[in-house]
Amino acid sequence: MRHSTTSYAVDPISSYVKINGIFKVGINVEFSSECSCTKTDTKPDNPDRDCNNRGYKVCGKCVNVPEWNNQTLDVINSVECNNDQDCGDYGKCICGKCQCQNVFMNITKSPERFYGRGCTCTDLICPFTKKGQCMCECGKCKCNTGFKGIDCSEIECDYLHIMKKCKETEGAPDCSGRGDCVCGTCTCPYNYTGTHCETLTVPTVRCSDIKECMVKVFESNEHAGCNITVTLVQKLVESTSFFVHTCQMVHHKCVRSFMIEINQNGKNIDHIRLKSLDSRRDCANDQNPYFRKRLLYFCGITTAGALAFYSITILLHIIYIKWFNDNQRRVRGMVIKDTERYEITAEPVDETLSS
C-alpha cells in the first residue's frame, strides 16, 4: 500500500489486523515524498487550531508564522515517544505523544498527577504541596508567601501573617505575655502550655501564702480570717489535680489539715476545706494518753524494725565470710594435690663417676 501525503519524509509503518479474531493479516504502509496538496506562498488569514494557533498547515504540517515562537511549533511537530518505555512508568505512547496516567486514572485535578514531556513531572516531588506551602512545577517547588527553602519547609519569620499566629486575639501580646514567639510558634515556660501559652499547668499559689490568715481561721469560731470561703469537713479527700493542694500547719501543738482549691489562672484561692480538729489524734500533750500510746507504738515499731534489719545484715555478712574462707581452703587443697601428682623426682647422681 502506497499513499501520497506530505512533502517531508515519514518512516514506513508495519502492522497487522485480525480477521474473525483468529487470522492475522500484515499491512505495510509506505509514504512517498511527493506532496499532492496545493502549495502557496501566502499564509491564511487565521492561524490553524491544530497548530496551537501559532501557525498554519501546509500539506498537513504546521508552518511557522514569523511573529510567533519557533520553539512552540517544533514541539508540535516533534515525536515525543516511539513506545511506552519512552513515557516512563506513568504514561502510554499514543500516536507519538505520551498520555500520562491521569487520563486513564481520572486524577487530572489531583496534586499527585503526572505531566510534562515523557510524564516525568509530578507534584509528589514536593512534600509540602498538600500543606499549602508550595506549588510544584515539574520537580521544582515554588514557595507560597510566608515559606522558603528548596522544599518550602522553612518559614519566613518576617512575614506579618506568620507573626500574627502568636497572638490569641487582635492586639493581644505575643504568647499571652508569658512565652517567646519563634516564627509564628509560641515557646512557653515550664508552668504554661497551649498554642498561646494560655493554660497554666503548675499554679503559683503555695500553702505558705495563707499561713498568717489561717491562724485567724483556726482561732475563729466562724472560721473567718482569709476572706475566702471555708468549709469544715470531717475528712479530706485526696486529689491529684495541680489546682488542689493539701496543707498542714502546727497550731497550739495541734496539726491542722486543710485543702486549698486554686482557680484556673493559678494566682488565687477560690475555696478552703478545713478538717475538723480531733484533739486525741491531732494534738500532742501530756494529758493525751492516746497520743502517747500512738507515739510509743510508732517508736517501738521503728526500733524493732531497725534492730531486725541490722541483725539480718550482720548474719548475712558472717555467712558470706564463712563461705568465702571455706572456698579458699578448698581451692588451696586442690592446688597442692595437683602439684604432688605431677611433680618429677630427680634421678640420684653417682658421685664416684663424677670424681
Are 78-124 and 160-200 in the same CATH fold? Answer: yes
pLDDT of residue 111: 46
Reduced 3-state DSSP string for 191-260: CEECCCCCEECCCCCCHHHHHHHHHHHHHCCCCCCCCCEEEEECCCCCCCCCCEEEEEEEECCEEEEEEE
pLDDT of residue 11: 57
Q: Name the CATH code of domain 78-124 (choices 2.10.25, 2.30.30, 3.40.630, 3.30.300).
A: 2.10.25
Confidence of residue 52 (pLDDT cuts 50, 70, 90): low
Specify whether domain 160-200 bears CATH 2.10.25.10: yes
Residue of higher predicted confidence among 119 and 334:
119
Which helix (H) or strand (E) element contains residue 14?
strand 13-19
Q: What is the pLDDT of residues 220-272, one digit of tens each?
A: 888 888 888 899 999 888 776 768 888 988 888 888 999 988 887 777 888 99
Least trusted range by pLDDT, from 83-92, 158-167, 340-349? 340-349
Q: What is the pLDDT of residues 131-148, one digit of tens each?
A: 667 777 776 788 887 778
Task: Give the three cell numbers for residue 54.
Answer: 501559532
Q: Is the pTM of the predicted complex or chain greater than 0.75?
A: no
39 pLDDT higher than 60:
no
> 3-class DSSP state for residue 33?
strand
DSSP code for 301: H
Assess contact for 135 and 141: CB atoms under 8 A: yes
> 3-class DSSP state for residue 40?
coil
pLDDT of residue 329: 78
Q: In the chain, where are the structural domains located? A: 10-70, 78-124, 129-156, 160-200, 210-275
pLDDT of residue 8: 43
Task: Give the three cell numbers for residue 330.
Answer: 578448698
Nearest to 51 by CA among 70, 32, 31: 70
Distance CA 261, CA 231 (A): 12
